[in-house]
Amino acid sequence: MRPSRRVPVPDELCEHLLGVGEAQPRTPDGCEECLRTGDQWVHLRLCMKCGHVGCCNDSKNKHASKHVRASGHPVVRSFEPGERWLYCYPDDLFYDPGAAS
């Protein structure tokens, strides 16, 4: 896997990041699948298309990435307190709106 490209300014955003909405988390208390199975996670990611909350790739189950592959929804946001960065899977772009201001 190649490293993500960080996008410092909004003019360099891909079409997926430009068109992203603000989804409401379906399970604000944690990873949907891990909550059902009683598993643990490291960090959480929010699907910006449907509100799925999944665990990150450092978590053993990697539910956020599995959701992206299964659904085709391209953009996730960190669902960690104090973080607002976005990641576009198809374009491998990382954008932190807080860092651009």
Angle at 5 between CA 77 and CA 44, to 5 degrees: 25
Q: Would you list the domain boundaries of the chain?
A: 43-101
Q: What pLDDT sits at residue 98? A: 78
Token representation of residue 17? 């990041």
Q: What pLDDT sits at residue 20? A: 92
CATH 3.40.50.150 fits 43-101, yes or no: no
Residue type present at position 37:
T
Q: Terminus-to-terminus CA distance in the chain, angstroms?
A: 29
pLDDT at residue 4 tops 90: no
Q: What is the DSSP string of the chain?
A: -PPPEEE-SGGG--HHHHT---PPPS-TTS-HHHHHHT---S-EEEETTT--EEE-TTSSS-HHHHHHHHH---EEEE-STT---EEETTTTEEE-HHHH-
pLDDT band, residue 1 (cuts 50/70/90): very low
Percent of the chain with pLDDT over 90: 79
Token representation of residue 97? 């709106």
Taking only the tens place, the pLDDT of each residue in 55-85 is 999 999 999 999 999 999 999 999 999 999 9
Instruction: Give the integer Cα–Cα distance in Å for 33 and 30.
Output: 9
pLDDT at residue 6 tops 80: no
Taking only the tens place, the pLDDT of each residue in 10-51 is 677 899 999 998 899 999 999 999 999 999 999 999 999 999
